[in-house]
Every structure is written in structure tokens, then in C-alpha cells.
Chain A
Amino acid sequence: MAITLETAIAAIGAGIAIAGGAIGTGSAQAAIGSAGLGMIAEKPESMGTVLLFLVIPETLLIFGFVVAILIMLTAGII
């Protein structure tokens, strides 16, 4: 496949979309994770609740992923 300037820019855009979502998710999970581990140390039975809260910010990454897919579809990369 010949790489044009437009496809390259679109690919970079898709990468930024994923990276932005991943950074957002990571920073949110870092805060929730450290607080959650403190909670588990005090109340081991709260493991399920903590796990649930921990995965909530992953939505940000999913949005980044959806945007990346849409960019790549529009640019004909996939």
C-alpha cells in the first residue's frame, strides 16, 4: 500500500486518539488503584467493589479506540 501524506496524518491522528485515551485511563487508574489497595488492606472483602471502580476509567481508552477505528476507516487504512 502506498503511503500518502493524508494517510500518514490520519494514522498519526489515530495513534494520538489511542494514546490520549490510554494516558487518561492510566492516570485515573493510578489514583483509584492506590486508594483501592489501601481499602483492600483494611477490608479484604471490598476487593470486588475496588476492581469495579478500577475498570471504570477504561471507558476513556475505549473512546480513543473507537475514534481511532473511525479515523482509520475514513482514511481507508483498514
Chain B
Amino acid sequence: MLSTEPMQKVRIIALDRDMHGVVSALQAIGIIDLRKSRINIEDNKPSGHASELSELLIKFEGALRLLEKHEVKKQKHMELEKLINEARAESSVQRVYDLGNERQLIQEENALLDYSIDSSEKLKGTGINYDMVQSERFGYFAFYTDGKGYSQLSKKLKNAKDYSIETRKNDKHISGVIVYAKPGSISDVAKDAGVTEIDLHSRYMHGTAEETLLSSRKKRAQNDKRISEINKELHEISGAKYSYLASMTEMLDIELQKANVSGIFKKTDKTFLIEGWIAKKRYHELDRIVGEAAKGRFYIEHVSDDELAPTQINRPKFLQPFDYLMNFYSTPRSDEIDPTWIFIISFPIFYGLMVSDVGYGILSLIVVSLIIMKTDPDGLLNNVARIWRLTSIAIIFFGIFSNQYFGFQLNQYIGLGFLPTFNWLKNITTILVVTILLGIIQVVTGLAIGAANQHRHGHNKHALAKLASAGAIVLGAIAVSAIFFGQFNTTIGAATGVAAILLILATIGLSREEAPEITNLITHPLSYARIMGFGLGSVIIAMLIDQAFTPNLGMGIPLFIVYIIIFILLHFFNMVLGIFEGMVQGVRLNFVEFFSKFYTGGGIRFRPFNYKRVYTKE
């Protein structure tokens, strides 16, 4: 349970003529993570079909993007040669491309036409003639602005000379054209006044504004008609061809993946060589599949080298968000103990204790369910929300045992009065001790795992140092509770105190790496007191909200409504604060205080060579 899947590196040698079959079989079974072999023989080149497949795939993908989605009927995978020939001969792809390009050009033209229509609408009645604005003697500046902008412009133009201005006013704005004698320029003055310039050199602006309006609107209508025709044709092609093109695209993608992967193989005159990692338990399956593909003409051997095996983790789907969070921190190495299960167990306990309120648990269940529905399933927020959903159950559990329902104590009213409960305000000492004890247990567990890891790698002195540290924590805790809190007699306190000091000295003597960690033997278990700190904080805020804003009908309906809104908002705010802090602190206690005792991380995730078929079948 605490280790990742045992892996084995294998080498497959088969005849060149069986390469396509073997690669297809490996892709279909999807159990091998392929690697480039370090054997000093010639590299195999990627398949000669790779560039053609790539070119065809780009075309098919581009065409598919232009089509409307339709239901796809799964097609049987074609032989490579047949696939390439059929893909080359498929005329609808070129037609879709042409239509798409034409539509894009028309849309670009429409943007210019819209500008000329909009501008001419504004300049209508100013007497502008677009064909005359290229004059050598006169400069033209067209604009539109609001009343305030126009008065600014008038002020700025007071001192200007040799110009005339023609304006037109409508409901929205004032537009106009300033004609000025060259070489002077009025445009800088006008722009300074904050008016918006109208470009008079746009492609479709010819003749007067009225003439441009007519011609542009006519062209726009023709374009709209043509776009409708293109959309209609694309709609018809989508209906007739989408399913087929989607299947063809997937087949091309599959074949391209196979063609490209052959570039990492090695070769001799008549054979090729593949290396990769597989789970040990699937070796026989691999042997059988390759045997069938190569018709028995193959050889598989185990490879022993110093390469770190990839990490494969098989966990139930509902717990996979924890792996996501672990990978976010660092993937476990295949040669170390996987701490995720301990994280899965301890995190809800810390988190549940910190928030511990049935009301908040139910509310957070609702909120995170909405987040899960609305966010990308592979994104960070979605995965964190899935963890929140699981841990909301822990909040409810600890909420029942601390008798907290939005800060109210309701167990006795819902038939749970018989349950033993703890009170955050009355049992502070007990809760503090329990949280530090939780810290001692987790830190000691971490040190024990660290010792096991070190022993695995043959570093026995370091392993002993970790065990000595663990012993020092346990004995130190007994000594502190005996000397300062009178839990054991003085003799036991003194003896365990001396033993703890001796173990600390032993730790320093045994391992140079472990020596700087000595202070953490005290600080890390104490750090778990934050569980109590944040839990107490959350409960006190909830109680204060109840005390100040619990509504009652005696205060009158309007005030009752206001109090209810404030009451809900403040509790929601406290819940958000609680779940965010609970998440961060719960993760932190695991990642910093616990993992630092043993975890190396930096593993390589197992990425099998495979393709998830959606539109095709084998």
C-alpha cells in the first residue's frame, strides 16, 4: 500500500518487417513507457510516412474545426497505405478549406465595410468627398465627439489660421471635417482636444459620404448573402462528412504517433530494438501481445541499468485528486515509500478539526459541488474542490462531535444529545495536547519512514539517526509531561529527559545530514497546535456572529430581513475563511512537517505509449 507499482525495464528485439505490427500492438495495449535505448548501435529513423501523415493531419484537423459537430459513428481502423490514399483522395477537405478561407476574407472585408458605413453615417451632410482628401494643397481631418469635446476643440482652434470646419450634429454626437491649408497641420491640435479621428483613407470610402453609404451597404448585403451560402454548404458537408472526417483524423493521429515513436528505436540490418518500462505484473501480457504481433519472431529481455523507474500509482478514482495534489508538490520516486495514503488519512482529520462545524460542512459540500460542475475537470481548482468535497464529510463528522451547527449547539435537539462531545472553549488544554500528540505521531511516523527509506538505499547510519530522532521526540514528550505537567513521576521524567538528550547527541553523531534537523524535533510537533488555533478561531467567530446577528421576529420584519442577510453573509465568509485556511494549513502540515522527515520526490510519472480512441475502433 505504501509503495508505488513495481516496475521492470524491458528490451524487445524483432524483425524490421514486423515493426509496424509490433508498434501498433504496443500502442493498443498501452502498458509500456518507451525510452531511447543507450545501446551503442545505429538509431532508427522515424517512419518515412511521418511528414505526409503530419501534413494530412493538419489539413483534416483544420477542416474539422470549420465544421459543425455531429454524432460520430465509430469506424474500423484502416491499414496505413489505404488510410493515406483515402485521405489524399478526400476532396471535401479541400472544399471545406476553400470555403473557410473565403468566409474569412469576406469577414475581414466586412469589418472594413462596417467602418466605412459607420464613418460615412457620421460624416453624412458635411460635404466630404473621400476622393479629394489626397490633395497637395489642403489637409483633411474628420472627427466625432460629444458636446464637451466639441467646445474643447472650438477653444483650441481659436488661435488657428487658414482652416474651415463643417459639422453635423445628431442625438449622440457632433461630427465634422476640418479642411486646412498645407503645410500647416491641425490634426495635432484637434487630437489634443480629445476628439476621435475618423480615418478617411479606408479602402471602401469613395466619393461623398452618401455615395459610400450606398455602395458599402450594397457590398455588405452581397457579402452577407455569400456568407449564408458558405455556411449552408458547410452545414451540408458537416451533416454528410463530419463523422467520416473525425474518424479519419483520429486514424491519422494514431498513425502519426506510431511513425514518430519509431525515431527512438535502435536498429541493425534486419532487426529493430525497443526499450521501455512496464509494471512487473504485466510482463506476461506484453510477452503474449508482442509474440502475436511479431508472429513469434521476437526476443524480450529484462534490462538492468541505473535509470530511475517511472512512478505508476493505481489508486481508486475518487482518491485521485490527492495524487494530483501530490504531483503538484512533487511526484513520489519509484524507489521510495509513497506517503499519499498517510496524506489521504491525516489531511481530512486536520482539516475536519480546523473547521469542525456541521453547518459549514453541509454548506461547503454544496459550494464545492457547484465548483466541480463549473470548472475544467483537469484543472487545479476542480481537483482541489474534489478533495474539499471528500473532506467536507470530515468537517461534518468533527462538527457533530464538537456540537457545532453554525456556531449553535444543537445535538440535544436532533437526537444526538447522547454523543460524547468536546467543547472548543472549555476543553482548550485537552485539545491543545491532542493536536500536539497528533503532531508527535505524524512526525515520528515520518522519521520511521525516513529510516526505512535510508535503510533501503544502504545508508544505515542515517537510518539509525532518524530512529534516534524519533526516540528523542517520544522520550522528550514523556519528560515534558512529567516535569511540567505532572503526568508521570519525577524519576520517569528525569530518566526519559536524559535519554532524549542522549538520543539527540546520538543523532548528531550518526548523521551529518540529520544534525541540522535537531531543532525541528521540537518545533515540528508543536506546529500542529495550529489545528487548535484555527479551529478555536473559526468557532469563536461563528459564536460572535450568532451573538450579534441572530435574527428574531420581535425586531420587526425589515430588521429581521437585514439581520438574516448579514447572518448568512458573515457565516459564509467564516466558512470560506475556514475551508481556505484548513486546506492550506492541512496541506502544509503534511508537506512541511511530515514530508521533510523522509520524502525526496522528483519522480518521473509513468506515461504509457497509447492512444485513447474516441471515434475509431481496432
- Chain A residues near B (Cβ < 8 Å): 47-49, 51-52, 55-56, 58-59, 62-63, 65-66, 69, 73, 78
Closest Cβ of chain B to A49, distance in Å, is 8
B contact residues, total (Cβ < 8 Å): 18
> In the complex, are the beta carbons of B587 and A59 less than 8 A apart?
no
Could you list 20 examples of A-B contacts with CB < 8 Å? Answer: A47-B380, A48-B380, A49-B329, A52-B588, A55-B585, A56-B588, A58-B530, A58-B588, A59-B523, A59-B527, A59-B530, A62-B527, A62-B533, A63-B523, A63-B526, A65-B529, A65-B533, A66-B432, A66-B529, A73-B429
What's the Cα separation between A36 and B328 when bound, in Å?
17
Q: Describe B's contact surface by its main secondary structure.
A: helix
> In the complex, are the beta carbons of B328 and A48 less than 8 A apart?
yes
Closest to B587 in A: A52
Contacts of A62 in B (CB 8 A): 526-527, 529-530, 533
What's the Cα separation between A47 and B584 when bound, in Å?
12
Within B565-593, which residues are at the interface with A (CB < 8 Å)? 584-585, 587-588, 591-592
What's the Cα separation between A56 and B595 when bound, in Å?
14
Closest Cβ of chain B to A74, distance in Å, is 10
Contacts of B380 in A (CB 8 A): 47-48
Q: Mark B242-258, 1 if CB is under 8 A from A, else 0.
A: 00000000000000000
- The answer to the question of B428 belonging to the interface, with a C-beta cut-off of 8 Å to chain A, is yes
- Contact A52 B592, CB 8 Å, known A62-B533, A65-B533, A73-B429: yes
- Contact A51 B329, CB 8 Å, known A59-B527, A62-B526: no
Closest Cβ of chain B to A77, distance in Å, is 11
> In the complex, are the beta carbons of B591 and A52 less than 8 A apart?
yes
Closest Cβ of chain A to B378, distance in Å, is 14
Choose among A48, A62, A63 the residue with the greatest number of B CB atoms under 10 Å from its CB: A62
Contacts of A58 in B (CB 8 A): 530, 585, 588
Closest to A62 in B: B530
What's the Cα separation between A39 and B454 when bound, in Å?
34
Closest Cβ of chain B to A5, distance in Å, is 24
Within B514-538, which residues are at the interface with A (CB < 8 Å)? 523, 526-527, 529-530, 533
- Contact A78 B329, CB 8 Å, known A55-B588, A59-B527, A66-B529: no
Contacts of B592 in A (CB 8 A): 52, 56
Closest to B325 in A: A48
What's the Cα separation between A63 and B526 when bound, in Å?
7
13 extra interface residue pairs, beta carbon distance < 8 Å, beyond A52-B588, A66-B526: A47-B380, A48-B328, A52-B587, A52-B592, A56-B592, A58-B530, A63-B523, A65-B529, A65-B530, A66-B432, A69-B428, A69-B432, A78-B428
> In the complex, are the beta carbons of B584 and A55 less than 8 A apart?
yes
Closest to A48 in B: B328
Closest to A54 in B: B584
Contacts of A55 in B (CB 8 A): 584-585, 588
Closest Cβ of chain A to B534, distance in Å, is 9
Closest to B533 in A: A65
Contacts of B585 in A (CB 8 A): 55, 58
Closest Cβ of chain A to B433, distance in Å, is 11
Closest to B528 in A: A62
Contacts of B591 in A (CB 8 A): 52
Contacts of B533 in A (CB 8 A): 62, 65
What's the Cα separation between A63 and B380 when bound, in Å?
32
Contacts of B428 in A (CB 8 A): 69, 73, 78
Within B261-295, which residues are at the interface with A (CB < 8 Å)? none
Contacts of B584 in A (CB 8 A): 51, 55
Contacts of A59 in B (CB 8 A): 523, 527, 530
Choose among A49, A51, A66, A73 the residue with the greatest number of B CB atoms under 10 Å from its CB: A66
Contacts of A78 in B (CB 8 A): 428
